[in-house]
Amino acid sequence: MRLCIVSETWAPDINGVAHTLNRLACELDRLDVQVDVVRPAPRAQKPRSTAGEELQVYRLPLPGYAEVQVGLATPGMLTRFWKKHPPDAVYLATQGPLGLAARRVARKLGIVCVAGWHTNFDHYCHDYGIGWLSAATLRYLRHFHNGCALTLVPTHAQARTLHKAGIRDVSVLSRGIDGEHFSPAHRDDTLRDQWGVNEHQSVALYAGRLAAEKNLTLLVETFQAMREVRPDMAQVIVGDGPARAQLQKALPQAHFTGFLDQPSLARHYASADIFVFPSLSETWGNVITEAMASGLAVVAFDHAASAELIRHGHNGLSIAPDDPRGFHQAAAELCQHPADYARLGRTARLSVLEHSWSGIAEQFKRYLHTAQEAHHALSPACRIRSS
């Protein structure tokens, strides 16, 4: 089987979507699926990240947020690429201009399209002060996804939400975790020394983009509430983004690391004790599973990955999304009880290890085959064949 993934983010980008797609590509290669990629040209040339073919299209960074980019491609570019390297299916990981152009060309060429819901663009409208665009954005997303054979979302709650919004043919594809890479075995006493804590002191950690949609005001309130009851605790913020300077001013005692490579990220997780994640913008949230696999007690809202994986009080704390006060109170209470957060962390790791990337990739391949069969049953003459 030959699959072409169309995405506006790919390695070496550091974000949840790029991580998910690259792990899928690696696992699909083991399942004899050749993965080609259509993506914006990277800011710096890096070795090709897949064994398949790659089309690099025009890159347009978003004003004021250079880490996020939009891809632009002409129909001719896509047509020539797919006629030269004809895929059995196209996976659209973006609903932006690149995804829309790819969907149109694929449909014209008779290639089955499966879409992924990786970002809640309609919610971002409210986070960036343009809530009046939310309804129009949702109408566009409904049009985009209903033009695909199948839409894959990471959670059952998201599937129900899209169904209510009028999006058809939605199925659930969860996310995996590498339990060897993210593991308590990577705990680093030297790193904890740098944070100024000993084995009896706690470390609270946040990992993610530092941007408005991550509910960072609540992160500040939560870290402040935790420090009030545990003045000796360390607080670590992993990631970068346009809100970093504002956060550093609000949390002057916190340790800011910027973006980290994968080995360093694993060490930081494992060297902390509590993971605090107040965001409500995720479709999944890979950081939740990474923290759980690393043996951390997670405090998060009952949303996305935490809604699927966390049983409140058993393997983490999952707070109602409409209760921000309850969120920072729960974190402040937990950090005072080392035995409790250690127990939650141990149980979290055991519960999340059931989710392997190999199993996710096998399910993804089954979805592709199902979409192909339905597509060809409706239009058996629409298959592109290699010459």
One DSSP character per residue, 293-348 reads HTTPEEEEESSHHHHHH--BTTTBEEE-TT-HHHHHHHHHHHTT-HHHHHHHHHHH
Q: Same structural domain for residues 206 and 221?
A: yes
DSSP per position, 117-146: ----HHHHHHHTT-GGGHHHHHHHHHHHHH
20 and 158, same structural domain? yes
Q: What is the pLDDT of residue 151?
A: 97
> Are 233 and 266 within 8 A, CB to CB?
no
Q: Residue 15's domain is classified under what CATH number? A: 3.40.50.2000
* pLDDT per position as a tens digit, 88-134: 999 999 999 999 999 999 999 999 999 999 887 656 555 555 564 77
Tell me, yes or no, whether 223 lies in a domain.
yes
- CA 309 from chain centre, in angstroms, equals 15
Per-residue pLDDT, 381: 44
User: Do 290 and 211 fall into the same domain?
Assistant: yes
Does residue 76 share a domain with residue 37?
A: yes
Q: Are 58 and 40 in contact (CB under 8 A)?
A: yes
Are 274 and 360 contained in the same domain?
A: no
Closest CA to 203 of 216, 215, 187: 187
Q: Report if residue 273 sits inside a domain.
A: yes
Whether the bond into 12 is cis, omega within 30 of 0: yes
Domain membership flag for residue 384: no
Range of the domain at 84: 2-176+356-378
Q: Is residue 387 part of a domain?
A: no
Residue 290 shares a structural domain with residue 341: yes
**Same domain flag for 348 and 361:** no
**Co-location of 23 and 162 in the same domain:** yes
Pair (348, 364) in one structural domain: no
Distance in angstroms (rounded) separating the CA atoms of residues 36 and 52: 5
* 26 and 162 assigned to the same domain: yes
Q: How many domains would you assign to the chain? A: 2
Same-domain status, 240 and 360? no
Residue 166 domain-assigned?
yes
d(CA 346, CA 40): 41
With respect to residue 205, please indicate whether it lies within any of the assigned structural domains: yes
What is the rounded distance in angstroms from the CA atom of residue 148 to the CA atom of residue 167? 10
pLDDT given for residue 4 in this prediction? 98
With a cut of 50, which residues of the chain have pLDDT below it? 132, 380-387
Q: Is the same domain home to 188 and 169?
A: no
Whether residue 385 is contained in a domain is answered as: no
Q: Is residue 222 part of a domain?
A: yes
Q: Count Cβ atoms below 10 Å from residue 262 Cβ, excluding itself.
A: 13
